[in-house]
Amino acid sequence: MATTYDEAWFASRASRGVQGLRAYDPGHDLVAFRRKFGDMLVELGSNENPYGPSPAARMAILDQLHSLHRYPDPLGLDLKRALAAKHGVDVGQILLGNGSHELLMQLAQVFAGEGDEVVFSRYGFAVFALATQCAGAKARVVEALPRDHATMPLGHDLDAIAAAVTPVTKLVYIANPNNPTGTWFGRDAMEVFLSRIPGEAVVVFDEAYAEMANAPDYSSVLPLLSRHPNLVVTRTFSKAYGLAGLRVGYLMAAPGLVAVMERVRESFNVNGPALAACEAVLDDTAHLRWSLDRNATERTSLTEALQERNLRVYPSQTNFVLVEFGPNTALIEAALIAQGVVLRPMGGYGLGDCLRITVGSHEENLRLLAALDKVIA
């Protein structure tokens, strides 16, 4: 019989990890929705910044248009210098990625393989499971705090995560605040947690939403970096800085860890216009402040509006909220899509009775609520 060179055949030729892998699920076919609804589409499914980047980003990119035939700086040194100054770390402690997604994948590629374990929380960011599987390592998924937890329902159970770390644990992934739950934890909890993790395990703190957190008990893990050489912090320009389309993220860690990560980095992984735009937006702190203030205001009012409709909204320190819609979630979601409002289904996370709603602009949030009222009625 002739061989069929289909996906199953090629999968059988793939490495063990990739054989068990499923491609990242981006949620919906947004390109098709954009074609159908045009400007009327309300995109609240991907946690993008509705206000866009500082206008300085566009000017910086225009300036790059005359040198598109040249490779960019392979090290992205100017951007690294700006980031080092901003965060109070050395240039050698920074690694740039084509989005932080790339860096999260490469961390597993570098530090975990067959026979190794990677620890992360249930409802942790989807890329953690993908990266682990791709590397051929074993995922140790730790139960999250229960839905009826008094202060942080669905939050990371740091005690249980620390207890799951064993001598075969190579990597621990933690998102603070976390996507898709929006949950977070503070400095004291972090210090206790890190004191319990052996130095042999690399601990990755994904802080994609750090800029948006304004709770008094939230803290970035960055101040602890110098005391814990096994600590990695990842950040992104996709969310608070409004540059999701350019794909730039970065990590901060001990120089030795960065040097080993450099070995697997693709040459020129961050393009020239993206490097220039990121440098430019770092300078415009006024725009960032304005956009973060608006997000905080809209997050509060959207949360209250949803609660007034008797929906359970989980606590969030991000630019999205996780909301319980009950047994009719799929029907409600479909009815919203029919009106051009796109949210993120949560079935893939095992939260099929919830939807994740990006905090949009004031107008977008009002349109979501109007569409929702039609559906509920």
Ligand X SMILES: *Cc1c(COP(=O)(O)O)cnc(C)c1O
The distance of closest approach from Cβ of residue 289 to ligand X in the complex, given in angstroms and rounded to an integer, is: 21
270 touches ligand X (CB under 6 A)? no
The distance of closest approach from Cβ of residue 92 to ligand X in the complex, given in angstroms and rounded to an integer, is: 21
From the list 71-79, 94-102, 107-115, 211-219, the region that binds ligand X by CB under 6 A is 94-102
99 touches ligand X (CB under 6 A)? yes
3-state secondary structure of 345: strand
236 touches ligand X (CB under 6 A)? yes
Count of residues of this chain found to bind ligand X when the rule CB under 6 A is applied: 14
Q: Please check whether residue 232 is in contact with residue 253, taking contact to mean a CB–CB distance below 8 angstroms.
A: yes
Six token digits for residue 135 = 């590397």
HSE (side-chain half, CA atoms, 13 Å) at 89: 25
The distance of closest approach from Cβ of residue 328 to ligand X in the complex, given in angstroms and rounded to an integer, is: 27
Question: Residue from 101, 228, 356, 367 that binds ligand X (CB under 6 A)?
Answer: 101
206 touches ligand X (CB under 6 A)? yes
238 touches ligand X (CB under 6 A)? yes
Question: Residue from 93, 100, 106, 183 that binds ligand X (CB under 6 A)?
Answer: 100
30-68 core/surface letters (b: 16 or more CB in 10 A; e: else): eeebeeebeeebbbbbbbbbbebbbebbeebbeebeeee
Q: Which of residues 28-57 bind ligand X (CB under 6 A)?
A: 47
* Residues 256-261: contacts with CB under 8 Å, at least 24 apart: 256/229, 257/202, 257/229, 257/230, 257/232, 258/92, 258/93, 258/94, 258/95, 259/92, 260/110, 261/95, 261/103, 261/106, 261/107, 261/110
179 touches ligand X (CB under 6 A)? yes
How far apart, in Å, do the first and last CA atoms of the chain sit? 58
From the list 2-10, 58-66, 237-245, 307-315, the region that binds ligand X by CB under 6 A is 237-245
From the list 51-59, 231-239, 252-260, 339-347, the region that binds ligand X by CB under 6 A is 231-239
Which spans of this chain sit near ligand X (rule: CB under 6 A)?
Answer: 47, 99-101, 125, 175, 179, 206, 208, 236, 238-239, 244, 249
